[in-house]
Amino acid sequence: MLLTTSKTALWRGVRGSLPFTVVLIPFAMLFGVAATEAGLPLVQIMSFTSIVIAGAAQFTALQFMIENAPAVVVVASALAVNLRMAMYSAALTPMLGDQPLWKRALASYLIFDHTYTLMSLDAEENPHQTTAQRTAFFFGCSIIIAPLWVACTWVGAALGGQIPPEFSLDFALPIAFLAMVAPALRTVAHIAAAGTSVVLALALGFIPLNLGLMVAAVISMMVGAEVERRMA
């Protein structure tokens, strides 16, 4: 019965992740195109996207590389953008924490914005699931997204020059993040953090190398945490 239930949870995760492919495909292709135009060879592009497997961090690092920023700035900026993954990991640990080490290691590699969002929603809707069922659901959310991200990056890198300009892929980035962030703004703390990040990102745009984004990210997280603490 448990095996059957875990399989059901796995396929539920697969179905839940399908809508995200609508924005993931052009998003990944856009990175492949941008990396090719930046002068990176195909081997480096595919190694980059397979190891990092984090769209926002990859675009951030690529932008700083194009601007010939110091390596430490490139790495620090990418880490700052992906700092939210540390919070995702902390939130997911109670759901997956007693699984074998290899499963937890694989899960840490497959944490994306959408997997965290789907896991959070599913945990609220199905609070009595076992850890095995939650783990199956998690991997169901990732089983299509991860290979698709790598494959579409290759398509963008290999064939990007043949995509007509009128089929611009730039729309994918803002739509992807709006689709993931908007449903998560469910509390005053969330809205305070998001509002602070927007205001500071615009106000600190004068800081060289886009480092204002790092400052905005840190301060907005502090604001959100403080609002949540005061309300609690």
Kindly tell me if the per-residue pLDDT of 177 is higher than 70.
no
> Which among 131, 85, 91, 132 is positioned nearest to 111, based on CA atoms?
85
Dump pLDDT digits (tens) for 38-53: 888 999 999 999 998 8
pLDDT (0 to 100) of residue 149:
93
Q: What is the DSSP-derived secondary structure letter of residue 96?
A: H
Kindly tell me if the per-residue pLDDT of 3 is higher than 50.
no
Return d(Cα 76, Cα 211) in angstroms, integer: 10
Average pLDDT, the chain: 83
pLDDT (0 to 100) of residue 26:
82
Kindly tell me if the per-residue pLDDT of 174 is higher than 70.
no
Q: How confident is the model at residue 90 (pLDDT cuts 50, 70, 90)?
A: confident
Dump pLDDT digits (tens) for 114-160: 888 899 888 888 888 888 899 999 999 999 999 999 999 999 898 86
Report field, pTM of the whole predicted structure over 0.75: no
Burial 165-180 (b: 16+ CB within 10 A, else e): eeeebeebbeebeebb
pLDDT (0 to 100) of residue 1:
40
Q: Which position has the higher pLDDT, 190 or 150?
A: 150
Classify burial at 135, counting beta carbons within 10 Å of its beta carbon; exposed 0-12, middle 13-18, buried 19 or more. buried
Q: Which residue has the tokens 């059901």?
A: 8
